């Protein structure tokens, strides 16, 4: 009987990429990779530690996997395993714990455990010192039916006061340029329509290499024959310098959509967070980007309830969001991470105030999205859409600028492009009729 494994992934697009690489390696060495809801020989939990809730979910799934099959081998990897390994060690039934720089060992360890046939009394622990780690090379050939995430960078050195990720991921390490280009070529040849270039601090790509930046990488990718859409993962607003914007505006394959990791619109709070920009710089950089790429859309992250955040600070965040006119906003209530400077700050905000501010910012986000979609539908009679899902006779997808579009269809159009004649919007989607497909 064939060996079986399942992978449960928490967290960011980098984790999703790494889990796919582990999955492909498992299949290569003889495993069938099944959904994590199935009973399997091995469960691999790829953890996140960005919030306390992320840690809780990881522990919950580890216990759930053990309960589903007490004889299964349990492997825990990722950011929680790297920086808070004691949480995994304390759960009886875990067999192997590895950190953030040796994730591919999960596949070979799974084979070793299954062939050995005996669960470990105590977990084997493989957590390296990330200060001495190099970029862990891994590749993928497969992808979702519409897009692939491609990790080009690992680590972060920003040391924001609220964030535990630098300890969980280590310093900046970049994938060699030619290795990135080879992977993009292979994905493109395999029919991938959209590639998302991602990393822990994507814009830091090349800092440890010679004479290469993320903008230079995008220009090289643009030369690849048959390349489809390319997106870039979350980036810091300070990156949008004149040099950077001038370079990326020449990248034909680059989708005019950027996710800015803004976090706050208050200069005082941004300073306490140890971010590298203030609201004036961010607004100027957004204006520069829109001037160079007129049809660009922006999405963002905000943290509400950071220690000492006053009503005035929060009003400045609301004001910034209106000025920046984001298409979509992800809103998070501040979560204490032990060991970070923010966790020890006085002036922690009560949970009820965090909830109120979250609700207000989410409401503003919905208002802005509704206006942006209505404006897009009124100004564009037709638009190109990459369809991603199909349900109940409707095809759903996104434009290059990440505007969500829904159109009636008699067939499943996933992973195909189509021209849609727009007829209106409802605050969640633009709607229209398919006039052409490719």
Which residues make Cβ contacts (< 8 Å) with residue 102, sequence separation at least 6? 126, 128, 136
Q: Once rounded to an integer, what is the mean pLDDT over residues 384-398?
A: 95
β-pairing, 394-398 vs 382-391, is antiparallel
Sign (positive or negative) of CA dihedral 319, 324, 329, 335: negative
Give the end of a domain, one of 75, 97, 128.
128
Mean pLDDT within 100-122: 95
Please tell me the total count of domains within the chain.
Answer: 3
Instruction: State the pLDDT at residue 386.
Output: 95
DSSP conformational letter for 281 = H
406: containing domain = 380-437
Judge whether 139 lies within some domain.
no
Query: Are 173 and 231 within one domain?
Result: yes
pLDDT tens track for 4-49: 999 999 999 999 999 999 999 999 999 999 998 899 999 999 999 9
* Domain final residue pick, 128, 156, 174: 128
Q: Give the model's pLDDT for residue 144.
A: 75
CA-to-CA separations, 63 to 15, 41, 126, 166, 286, in angstroms, rounded? 20, 15, 21, 27, 45
For 41, counting Cβ atoms within 10 Å of its Cβ (0-12 exposed, 13-18 middle, 19+ buried), the class is buried
| Residue position matching structure tokens 């409707």 | 394
* In a domain? residue 136: no
| Pair (407, 273) in one structural domain | no
3-state helix, strand, coil in the chain (%, to 5): 40, 25, 35
Q: Report pLDDT for 402.
A: 97
Residues 122 and 244 in one domain: no
Claim to verify: residue 32 and residue 152 sit in the same structural domain: no
Q: How confident is the model at residue 122 (pLDDT cuts 50, 70, 90)?
A: very high
Q: Please choose, from the candidates 45, 78, 42, 43, the residue with its C-alpha nearest in 3D space to the C-alpha of residue 59.
A: 45
407-426: average pLDDT: 94
181/257 same-domain check = yes
Please provide the distance, in angstroms rounded to a whole number, between the alpha carbons at the two ends of the chain. 42
Residues 168 and 38 in one domain: no
Shared domain check, 292 and 206: yes
Q: With bands split at pLDDT 50, 70 and 90, how would you rate the model's confidence at 394?
A: very high
User: How far from the centroid of its chain's Cα atoms is residue 234's Cα?
Assistant: 7
Same domain (yes/no): 266, 405: no
State yes or no: pLDDT of 366 exceeds 80. yes
Task: Single out the residue of 304, 299, 218 nearest to residue 260, CA to CA.
Answer: 299
333 plus 394 within the same structural domain: no
CATH number at residue 404: 2.40.50.140
Name the residue with higher pLDDT: 131 or 59.
59
> Does residue 411 lie in a domain region?
yes
Confidence of residue 405 (pLDDT cuts 50, 70, 90): very high
Together in a domain, 205 and 110: no
Q: Print burial letters for 176-213: b (CB count within 10 Å at least 16), e (below 16).
A: ebeebeebbeebbeeebbbbbbbbbbbbbbbbebeebb
So what's the pLDDT on residue 213? Answer: 96
Give φ, ψ of 112 to 5 degrees. Answer: -60, -45
Instruction: Give me the phi and psi of 11, to 5 degrees please.
Output: 95, -145
| Per-residue pLDDT tens digits for 43-100 | 999 999 998 899 999 999 999 999 999 999 999 999 999 999 999 999 999 999 999 9
Percentage, residues of the chain above pLDDT 90: 92
Say if 138 falls within a structural domain.
Answer: no
Q: Which domain CATH number covers 78?
A: 3.40.50.2300
In a shared domain, residues 326 and 392 = no
In this structure, is residue 234 part of a structural domain?
yes
Q: Is residue 133 assigned to a domain?
A: no
Q: What pLDDT band is residue 143 in, cutting at 50, 70 and 90?
A: confident
Looking up residue 199, the CATH number of its domain turns out to be: 3.80.30.20
Residue 405 in tokens: 């579009």
| Inter-residue contact 420 to 403 (CB < 8 Å) | no
Q: Does residue 224 form part of some domain?
A: yes
Predicted pLDDT of residue 126 = 94
Task: Judge if 346 and 322 occupy the same domain.
Answer: yes
Residues 134 and 154: their CA atoms lie apart, in Å, by 9
As given in the structure block, the two tokens for residue 199 are: 């990393």
Q: Is residue 434 within 8 Å of 382, Cβ to Cβ? A: no
| Per-residue pLDDT reduced to its tens digit, 154-179 | 999 999 999 999 999 999 999 999 99
Q: Where are the beta strands (DSSP E) in 224-296?
A: 229-232, 257-263
> Could you tell me if residue 141 is inside a domain?
no
Which of 325, 346, 372 is a domain's end point? 372
Provide the strand spans (E) within 248-381.
Answer: 257-263, 297-304, 328-333
The per-residue pLDDT for 241 is 94
């Amino acid at each position: 009987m064939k060996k079986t494994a399942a992978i449960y992934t928490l967290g960011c697009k980098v984790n999703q990429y790494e889990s796919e690489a582990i999955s492909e390696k498992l299949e290569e060495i003889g495993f069938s990779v099944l959904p994590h809801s199935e009973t399997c020989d091995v469960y691999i939990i790829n953890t996140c530690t960005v919030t306390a809730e992320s840690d809780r979910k990881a522990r919950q799934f580890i216990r759930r996997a053990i309960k589903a099959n007490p004889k299964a081998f349990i492997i825990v990897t990722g950011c929680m395993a790297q920086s808070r390994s004691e949480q995994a060690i304390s759960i009886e039934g875990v067999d192997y714990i590895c950190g953030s720089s040796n994730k591919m060992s999960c596949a070979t360890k799974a084979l070793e455990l299954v062939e050995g046939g005996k669960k470990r009394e105590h977990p084997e622990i493989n957590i390296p010192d990330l200060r001495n780690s190099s970029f862990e090379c891994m590749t993928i050939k497969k992808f979702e039916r519409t897009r692939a995430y491609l990790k080009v960078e690992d680590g972060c050195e920003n040391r924001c006061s609220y964030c535990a990720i630098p300890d969980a991921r280590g310093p900046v390490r970049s994938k060699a340029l030619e290795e990135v280009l080879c992977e993009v070529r292979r994905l493109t040849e395999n029919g991938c329509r959209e590639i998302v270039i991602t990393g822990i601090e994507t814009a830091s790509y090349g800092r440890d290499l010679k004479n290469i930046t993320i903008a230079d990488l995008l220009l090289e990718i643009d030369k690849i024959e048959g390349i489809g859409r390319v997106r870039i993962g979350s980036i810091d607003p300070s990156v949008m310098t004149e040099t950077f914007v001038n370079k990326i505006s020449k990248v034909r394959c680059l989708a005019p959509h950027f996710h800015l990791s803004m976090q706050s619109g208050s200069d005082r709070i941004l300073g306490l967070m140890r971010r590298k920009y203030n609201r004036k710089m961010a607004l100027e950089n957004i204006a520069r980007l829109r001037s160079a790429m007129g049809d660009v859309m922006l999405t963002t992250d905000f943290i509400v309830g950071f220690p000492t955040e006053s009503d005035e600070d929060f009003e400045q965040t609301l004001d910034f969001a209106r000025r920046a006119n984001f298409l979509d906003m992800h809103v998070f209530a501040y979560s204490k991470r032990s060991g970070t400077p923010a966790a020890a700050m006085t002036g922690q905000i009560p949970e009820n105030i965090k909830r109120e501010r979250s609700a207000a910012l989410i409401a503003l986000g919905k208002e802005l999205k509704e206006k942006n979609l209505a404006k897009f539908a009124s100004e564009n009679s037709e638009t190109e859409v990459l369809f991603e899902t199909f349900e109940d006779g409707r095809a759903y997808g996104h434009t290059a600028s990440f505007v969500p579009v829904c159109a009636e269809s008699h067939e499943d159009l996933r992973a195909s492009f189509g021209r849609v004649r727009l007829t209106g919007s409802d605050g969640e989607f633009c709607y229209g009729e398919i006039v052409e497909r490719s």
